[in-house]
Amino acid sequence: MEIKKKTIIILTLSLALVVIAVMLISRLADKETSKIPVDVPKASTTIPLPSGKTRDSYANISNPNDLDEIKKTFSNFVGEAIKADISETGIKTIKFIDAKGMPITLAAVSSSIGITIPRTLSNLIEDKEYDIFYCSSGGGKKDYGFVLYAKSAVGRSLDEKDYNEIAKQVRQWESSMLRDLHPLLFPGIFSSKANLDQELLFRDGKARFAEVQMPDGTKNSINYKQLGDPVVIASTLDCLEKGIGYFFDTEE
């Protein structure tokens, strides 16, 4: 009996040692595993730039509150010579950004260059997403245009009802569109109130358009087209179609 007790004690101790050894080995393995480096994605520090194609020209505004600086930058854009680098598309754009690469608001740009967008329409469009551009019309001359984008609805996707409301507001804008947009569409041309107060008759064609009597007696036009979310406006049909093709890769 005494021998059996000793044997049981020895077996119990041996088993306990084995269990302890297994536990120690397991803990050591866990420690080694914790030393293996894990590839954790780093937070991006890239400053976001306004959306647009790489051919866009970014104009840096050092002080977004300095309307004179924005106005001067736009004047330089209007006065610059047309270069060969726009020959492929026939179009050049400008995007105003601050020192951090963030877009200057449409409200600031509008105030600086003297254009007006009706409040009922401005409430429906994005303030930090818009496009201003010119088209080469030959002989060193330019036609101008810009694009407005519908403001995202809170908690839902934009739908046909939203687009119809924008279309309604743009239609109501037609009577004052020349007065409100001439510094952008016809920069430096109109100075007479009588010319600006001319009655415009908009009609449907390839786009919605109205003839404009210019101060020198020639005729030009205002043309616009809504493509659901965006509304493209330009001083000629050709420039309008170039703008649509450039920004939206859509053949008209």
Residue identified by tokens 């493209």 is 232
If you write DSSP's letter for every residue of 209-241 in order, what string do you get? EEEEE-TTS-EEEEEEEE-SSEEEEESSHHHHH
Q: Which residues pair with 23 in a beta bridge?
A: none
Per-residue model confidence as pLDDT tens digits over 159-180: 999 999 999 999 999 999 999 9
Asked if 148 contacts 130 with a C-beta cutoff of 8 angstroms, the reply is yes
Burial of residue 207 (number of CB atoms within 10 Å: 0-12, 13-18, 19+): buried
Q: Is residue 199 classed as helix, strand or coil in its secondary structure?
A: coil
Which helix (H) or strand (E) segment holds residue 146: the answer is strand 142-150
pLDDT tens for each residue of 88-128: 678 899 999 999 999 999 999 999 999 999 999 999 999 99
* Residue ranges of domains in the chain: 1-40, 57-248
pLDDT of residue 168: 97
Indicate whether this model's pTM tops 0.85: no
Place of tokens 């101060």: 215
| CB 211 within 8 Å of CB 124 | no
- Please, which pLDDT band fits residue 208 given cuts at 50, 70 and 90? very high
CA–CA separation, 176 and 199 (whole Å): 9
User: What's the rounded Cα separation, in Å, for the pair 230 and 248?
Assistant: 10
**Contact between residue 96 and residue 70 where contact means Cβ atoms under 8 Å apart:** yes
Distance CA 164, CA 173 (A): 14
pLDDT of 51 strictly over 50: no
